[in-house]
Amino acid sequence: MRSGPTLSMIGGLLACFTLGGCDSAAPERPETSLDFPQPYRPVSDLAGNSFSTEEARDDRREAETVMDQAAITEGMTVADIGAGEGYYTVRLSARVGPEGRVLAQDIDDEALRRLGSRVERERLDNVSVITGGIDDPRLPPNSFDRIFMVHMYHEITEPYAFLWRMRPALREGGQVIVVDVDRPTDQHGINPQLLFCEFERVGYRLVEFVRKPEIAGYYAQFEIEGERPDPQNIEPCAQQAATVSELTVNGDGHSEDNNDVQGS
């Protein structure tokens, strides 16, 4: 039982006053998140489960481009976090084939009901559907070659807890794929440097970053690096600039131009 505020909570409150990054009207945090730092950034409201129409996305070859970039092949096991209506779920199912597996996850029960009906209707026998939590993707450990987070990361209210609990789900050599848009987090996007920082603080390494018109945004790929930190030792990232115009990822997976995001 928690007898009083921890040093990390006190530090977070002081940082809110200093940085002006916390909303006094923000909802109460889940009990399961209190050992983790709170992000110093706003979060986008849930904007439904469709980024664009499936026809429009296929016309620009979005899913094909992302799956090619992520080197998705037959027999892989992948997770689609924030699967929504199943745009990626359906296409990942076809790409990994009957020997592969796709786990589709969302926190929206109604969206999952519709997705489950679609999975049955289209007889996607290699797809399973589960309900996730706002601070825990609830993925089985040591299970996935790739985890996809497409146009949804900016809606996660507890990124440090979420990423920390997601990490054990990756197999050796497994990677996390994020597709998003370079704009403020309360406008349904996220500054790439802030994204890199939040992943790095929980023990991930950026291995690839590209901007592509086919995906109407950017593609970032991460893998595990080092030990998973204790929750109380995670230092939250503080955003000090709105966007980054250009980024270059060098050979060791680190991005150049790190002036926009720093530790609190």
pLDDT for position 142: 98
pLDDT for position 16: 43
pLDDT for position 238: 84
pLDDT for position 134: 95
Q: 52: which residues sit within 8 A by CB, 6+ positions away?
A: 216
pLDDT for position 28: 86
Neighbours of 183 (CB within 10 A): 16
pLDDT for position 173: 97
Q: Tell how strand 261-263 and strand 237-239 pair up.
A: antiparallel
**Is domain 7-263 given the CATH code 3.40.50.150 in the classification?**
yes
pLDDT for position 50: 52
pLDDT for position 46: 60
Average pLDDT for runs of 10 along the chain of length 264: 40 41 61 95 66 87 97 98 97 98 97 97 98 97 98 95 98 98 92 97 98 94 97 87 45 46 45
Token pair in block for residue 33: 């998140």
What is the distance between the alpha carbons of residues 31 and 56, in angstroms, rounded to a whole number?
A: 40
pLDDT for position 79: 98
Q: Which residues pair with 208 in a beta bridge?
A: 221
Domain residue ranges in the chain: 7-263
Under a CB-based contact definition with an 8 Å cutoff, are residues 233 and 168 in contact? no
pLDDT for position 40: 86
What is the distance between the alpha carbons of residues 222 and 83, in angstroms, rounded to a whole number?
A: 19
